[in-house]
Amino acid sequence: MHVHILGICGTFMGSLALLARELGFNVSGSDENVYPPMSTQLEEQGISLFQGYGVEVLSPAPDLVVIGNAMKRGIPAVEYLLEKGLPYVSGPEFFSRFIAPERWILAASGTHGKTSTSSMLAWILEYAGMSPGFLIGGIPKDFGVSARLGSTPFFVIEADEYDTAFFDKRSKFVHYHPRTLIINNLEFDHADIFDDLAAIQRQFHHLVRTIPGSGRIIFPANTPEIDDVITMGCWSELEELGGNNKPWQVEPVSEDGSHFQVVYKGHVAGTVNWNQEGDHNVANALASIAAAHHVGILPEIACEGLSVFQGVKRRMELVEDIGGVRIYDDFAHHPTAIATTLAGQRSKLGEHANIRVIIEPRSNTMKMGIHQETLIASTGLASEVIWFKPLGLDWPLEELMADSPVKASVMDSTDAIVRYLVDTAKEGDHLLVMSNGGFEGIHGRIANGLKEKSRVEVGV
């Protein structure tokens, strides 16, 4: 059976492509925005990639077309398949139909931390010998791929609230039917499809309604936004994290989150000493440990697993270290994510470290300027911020610089950013690039510029 995926380089669709191929389907796909690490992963797995969405990508006609949620009416391939009556499904429907049946689905949801939490949870299950399947919107370094079927019924999925497809405006996660659900947090995001936080909460309530009575919902205590969802109606077990008199607690050993103890029902159940940092990752870890406990994994084993957890690509990933100038890649694209990531780095590196942040406002919410005031304030723990102003950004980024808590500048070309950083970077600098896209390959261009500068300086 030949399956063609429109929008294959999206994080969800690319992962789905790997699962379809593992199921035995002949898989091909097309996309307009092809960039690593997903494009590299797909090519390494032998999946044929085509550029663009012309009608030729559907000739000869595949047996089934899987349509990504970035596809819209008016795209030639979409219009062609509708005119010809080719069979098609959304990505989440494909998952529900071909992968989810008879599996114990463990889902990680929330505005932030989905990728990290689902990666941690999948690794804990792997470490415990449970060989889970997983579909994650990133590439966990422990596995080297973003998805696999696994050899047991347990399956971990990153549960995204974004809409399903142009013909199905429900959130993707309503198709997953988890038995174990993590809700990390809940904020307003995705302003291109949701009017307000209440609209997002309604979708989360739809998700809650799909969980069986013996299923479990795991979420942080004292979170009114999540409490509101639960009060809409819940028929499953509830397990709250932190807060007074709750079974799961954390006792810090280090200030940066790299070493902590997990307390379960008043007793120290395990210790995590890992290479991650930040309170947000500690919270993600506690949620993943609690979720693993629901399928029978002792907290002590879960903590052992996390202590050797390697992290996720594009989550504070060190790309290069050139003459003491360290370049990091991070996926943060929301004020809260930016602030928590910087808090973790500042705690780890110290108050005097020179953390220079380069931010691309790429997500639809950022482009619309929904969080523009909090976006500027979120960089307060940086030493300097360089904002990239993409073509078509229609909110006054330059004017907001007057309120920036740190040194800030706006540049409208990546060439200018690269030149500036290459000219000014010094040993000890930490260059943190934040974008949820390819950012015109800026990480490699900065690295190449620094290498060339070094060669010139030594006369090579």
Q: Higher confidence at residue 391 or residue 29?
A: 29
> Omega of the bond prior to 37 within 30 degrees of 0, cis?
yes
The reply to whether 358 and 291 lie within a common domain is no
Under a CB-based contact definition with an 8 Å cutoff, are residues 328 and 430 in contact?
yes
Residue 396 has pLDDT above 90, yes or no: no
The reply to whether 179 and 237 lie within a common domain is yes
Domain total of the chain: 3
The reply to whether 259 and 224 lie within a common domain is yes
The reply to whether 132 and 260 lie within a common domain is yes
> Omega of the bond prior to 92 within 30 degrees of 0, cis?
no
95 DSSP assignment: H
CATH number at residue 339: 3.90.190.20
Q: Tell whether 129 is covered by a domain.
A: yes
pLDDT at 145: 86
The reply to whether 338 and 377 lie within a common domain is yes
Which residues are within 8 A (CB) of 60 and not within 5 positions of it... i.e. 6 or more apart?
none
Q: Tell whether 330 is covered by a domain.
A: yes
| Coil, strand or helix at 270 | strand
CATH number at residue 53: 3.40.50.720
| Weakest-pLDDT range from 2-6, 56-60, 252-256, 388-392 | 388-392
Structure tokens at 379: 């960089």
Distance CA 182, CA 214 (A): 15
The reply to whether 258 and 119 lie within a common domain is yes
- pLDDT tens digit string along 293-324? 999 999 999 999 999 998 887 777 888 899 89
Distance CA 146, CA 148 (A): 7
The reply to whether 85 and 213 lie within a common domain is no
pLDDT at 458: 59
Under a CB-based contact definition with an 8 Å cutoff, are residues 206 and 134 in contact?
no
The reply to whether 294 and 330 lie within a common domain is no
User: What is the pLDDT averaged over residues 355-370?
Assistant: 77
The reply to whether 74 and 154 lie within a common domain is no
Structure tokens at 338: 């930016």
Last residue of a domain, one of 48, 67, 91: 91
Backbone phi, then psi, for 29, in 5-degree steps?
Answer: -165, 165
Write down the H helix ranges in 74-189. Answer: 76-84, 91-98, 114-127
Residues above pLDDT 70, as percent of the chain: 95
Question: If residue 238 lies in a helix (H) or strand (E), which one and from where to where?
Answer: strand 237-241
pLDDT at 417: 93
Q: Tell whether 312 is covered by a domain.
A: no
Q: Higher confidence at residue 32 or residue 396?
A: 32
Average confidence score pLDDT of the chain: 90
* Domain enclosing residue 61, as ranges: 2-91
CATH number at residue 152: 3.40.1190.10
Amino acid at the residue 331: F
User: What is the pLDDT averaged over residues 69-93?
Assistant: 96
Structure tokens at 454: 């070094």
The reply to whether 66 and 108 lie within a common domain is no
**What are the angstrom distances between the C-alpha of 414 and each of 124, 217, 242, 247, 315?**
39, 43, 43, 49, 21
Backbone phi, then psi, for 20, in 5-degree steps?
Answer: -60, -40
Banded model confidence at residue 280, pLDDT cuts 50, 70, 90: confident
Under a CB-based contact definition with an 8 Å cutoff, are residues 333 and 359 in contact?
no
Distance CA 202, CA 208 (A): 10
pLDDT at 293: 98
The reply to whether 281 and 372 lie within a common domain is no
Last residue of a domain, one of 307, 331, 362: 307
Residue 370 has pLDDT above 70, yes or no: no
What are 268's strand-pairing partners? 263
The reply to whether 430 and 377 lie within a common domain is yes
pTM across the whole model: 0.77
Distance CA 270, CA 395 (A): 48
Structure tokens at 51: 């550029």
| Coil, strand or helix at 385 | strand
User: What is the pLDDT averaged over residues 238-246?
Assistant: 91
- pLDDT tens digit string along 134-172? 999 888 989 988 899 999 999 999 999 989 999 999 999
